[in-house]
Amino acid sequence: MSEHQCGGCGGCGSAQEPEPKLVPHPESKIKTVIGITSGKGGTGKSLVSGLLAAELSKRGKQVAILDADFLAPTAPELFELPQGLTNGATGIYTAISEGGVKLMSVSLLLESETENVTWHSPMMARILQQR
């Protein structure tokens, strides 16, 4: 067994914890994921995501957006979706635009559009990992 080298503890010798393996929900039908990212705000990530999703939907594809921007979630505004989500027997249902694009955004979980997200990083990470 080799010595643990995590890069942060200076080789403490402890057994390294394996990363948890995230598996899709059994009912998931996701075939392709396209990530739109940037290390800077105000670059048009939501706009690009929205335009791409709308075009793919027009071409007959089933499309959904996960707006994972916790500081400035604007995707619901692009599609003019009302605040809030629908609760169902098996969980929360995504909002659906007039063009058929499904959308999940942290802003839809808040009570009002002007409410700020004050969650800590670990909580945000857990939300993104939920199935």
| CATH number, residue 58 | 3.40.50.300
Tokens matching residue 129? 């990992």
With respect to residue 28, please indicate whether it lies within any of the assigned structural domains: no
Whole-number pLDDT of residue 11: 53
Q: Does the structure show a pLDDT above 50 at 131?
A: no
With respect to residue 14, please indicate whether it lies within any of the assigned structural domains: no
What is the extent of the structural domain holding 68?
45-129
Nearest to 98 by CA among 83, 80, 85, 86: 80
Mean pLDDT of 73-93: 77
With respect to residue 34, please indicate whether it lies within any of the assigned structural domains: no
Whole-number pLDDT of residue 1: 47
Give the integer Cα–Cα distance in Å for 131 and 123: 15
- Strand extents, DSSP E, 4-121: 64-67, 86-88, 91-93, 95-96, 102-105
pLDDT mean across residues, the chain: 76
Tell me the pLDDT band of 7, cut-offs 50, 70 and 90. Answer: low
pTM greater than 0.85 (yes/no): no
Domain count, the chain: 1
pLDDT digits (tens, 9 = 90+) for 15-47: 555 566 667 778 778 888 898 888 888 888 889
With respect to residue 114, please indicate whether it lies within any of the assigned structural domains: yes
Do residues 66 and 104 make contact, with C-beta atoms less than 8 angstroms apart? yes
Give the integer Cα–Cα distance in Å for 6 and 22: 21
Give the integer Cα–Cα distance in Å for 39 and 42: 10
With respect to residue 36, please indicate whether it lies within any of the assigned structural domains: no
